[in-house]
Amino acid sequence: MNAAAILALVGQGLALLPTLIETGIDVTQRIEALVGLTKVDSNGNPTATPEEIASVRAQLDTDLATFNADLPPEV
Amino acid sequence: MASALGLALFAGGCTTLSNIGNGISLVTASVSNPVTPTREAQIEGVIDTAIAALNGYRQACIQGTADKPCRANIAAIQKYTRQMPTLITQLRTFVDNNDQINATVVYNQLLNLYATFKTTAANLGYNVGNLP
């Protein structure tokens, strides 16, 4: 995946941010994570650290678990 | 070949699941286009953004401020999102072990899951837009 493709990918993720803000979700962490994953060195190789990758994985696990949980009964 | 998923959850003053079309882009993996840890994280990060948006819709549904069929909509979507954790766990393991053959297989299974997701949304009557 080249840099342009990466930026396009992240840009599409960022396109959802207005929706996230409207729903009251803290987007700061997600912005930082997405931006961190686009960094490359002088040779164009990604420079995301294992910690950054682990953070993204953990956040997805948390959010998926929340969405996949059963809804509480209607009141 | 590519597939995409996007979410726009607001229309007027009521939260609705109204459009799926611009949020996620998953490009098919191959031997010449391997799934590196960074690439995997990029995909996971974008998926997470969409899931976070869905969680906003879910929360609105719980609070009674979402559209009427929100419970049915969420259940329909969960049918697919509940398959994701297993695939993601497998993908991470294969990527961490640089097992590109299996990583590519699982990555593309996730891609197919999103294609099914798209079809489900269309069947629910939602505009899925012009996906790449």
pLDDT band for B5, please (50, 70, 90 cuts): very low
Q: What percent of chain A has pLDDT over 70?
A: 64
Locate tokens 């497998």: which residue?
Answer: B90
Domain count, chain A: 1
DSSP A44: S
pLDDT of residue B18: 40
pLDDT of residue B39: 81
Bridge partners, B123 (sequence order): none
Question: Per residue in B86-126, pLDDT tens?
Answer: 999 999 999 999 999 999 899 888 777 766 766 665 565 44
A72 close contact with B: CB closer than 8 A? yes
Question: Per residue in B22-81, pLDDT tens?
Answer: 333 456 777 777 888 888 888 788 778 777 777 877 888 898 887 888 898 888 888 888
CA dist B75 and B91 (Å) reads 25
Residue A27 lies in a domain: yes
Of A16, A24, A25, Cβ closest to residue B23? A16
* Contacting residues for A64 by C-beta, under 8 A, at least 6 apart: B48, B51, B81, B84, B85, B88
Residue A51 lies in a domain: yes
Nearest Cα residue to B55 out of B99, B15, B12: B15
Residue A30 lies in a domain: yes
pLDDT of residue B43: 78
Residue B58: closest C-alpha in chain A: A67
pLDDT band for A22, please (50, 70, 90 cuts): low
Residue A73 lies in a domain: no
Query: Which residues form the domain of A61?
Result: 3-68
Chain A residues in contact with B10 (beta carbon < 8 A) = 19, 22
A25 close contact with B: CB closer than 8 A? yes
Residue A75 lies in a domain: no
> Mean per-residue pLDDT for A22-39?
73
* Contacting residues for B61 by C-beta, under 8 A, at least 6 apart: A71, B15, B70, B71, B74
Residue A52 lies in a domain: yes
Residue A43 lies in a domain: yes
pLDDT of residue B130: 30
Residue A25 has pLDDT above 90, yes or no: no
CA–CA–CA angle A34, A36, A28 (5° rounding): 55
> Mean per-residue pLDDT for A20-43?
73
**Cβ separation B42–A63 shorter than 8 A:** no
Residue A63 lies in a domain: yes
Three-class DSSP labels, chain B: CEEEECCEEEECCEEEEEECCCCEEEECCECCECCCHHHHHHHHHHHHHHHHHHHHHHHHHHHCCECCCHHHHHHHHHHHHCCHHHHHHHHHHHHHCCCHHHHHHHHHHHHHHHHHHHHHHHHCCCECCCCC
A2 close contact with B: CB closer than 8 A? no
